[in-house]
Amino acid sequence: MFAIISTGGKQYKVSQDTILTVNKLEGKDGDKITIDDVLFACDGDKFSIGSPQIDGAKINAEIVKQDRDRKILVFKKKRRKNYRRLNGHRQDITFLKVNSLDIPGFAAVKAAKKVSAKEETKSEDVAVKKKAVAKKKTTKKKGE
């Protein structure tokens, strides 16, 4: 199951236990936050589209860390005019860990998918071993 959310003027695709880097949000490390701007949700078979948001949908997340992004250099130049300017800045960012997706109509499907995922992993444990292929030997001719 995944959802498309909007925060800080950008859109992000999230699923459960996703760690996400977004523009700075208010709060300290370990604070729980709720994002209500859920634009789209899909569970493989079913999907829900908001206009513009899905009513009653929430994303529960936890602030992992407040940090600053890498430095962005802004270089301006006009050729043959001896004009060069170099500036830089670092953007404040927040790391979020998505704990749960609460979307109306998807709760029952979510629990059923977990059971089927465990059954699939049991059947995938049996792997077919591939045979090794011998390398071809090439010889160089004189004069090459």
Asked, for residue 106, whether it belongs to a domain, the answer is: yes
pLDDT band at residue 108 using 50, 70 and 90 as cut-offs = very low
Q: Hey, which bits of the chain come out as E strands?
A: 2-7, 10-15, 19-23, 32-35, 38-42, 47-49, 58-78, 83-102
* Contact call for residues 14 and 3 (beta carbons, < 8 A): yes
What is the model's pTM? 0.66
Q: Does 104 map to a domain?
A: yes
* Domain limits for position 106: 2-112
Model pLDDT for residues 37-86, shown as the tens digit of each residue: 999 999 888 888 988 899 999 999 999 999 999 999 999 999 999 999 99
How many independent structural domains does the chain possess? 1
Residue 101 contacts residue 59 (beta carbons within 8 Å): yes
The two tokens of residue 130 are 């591939």
- Residue pLDDT, tens place only, 10-24: 999 999 999 999 999
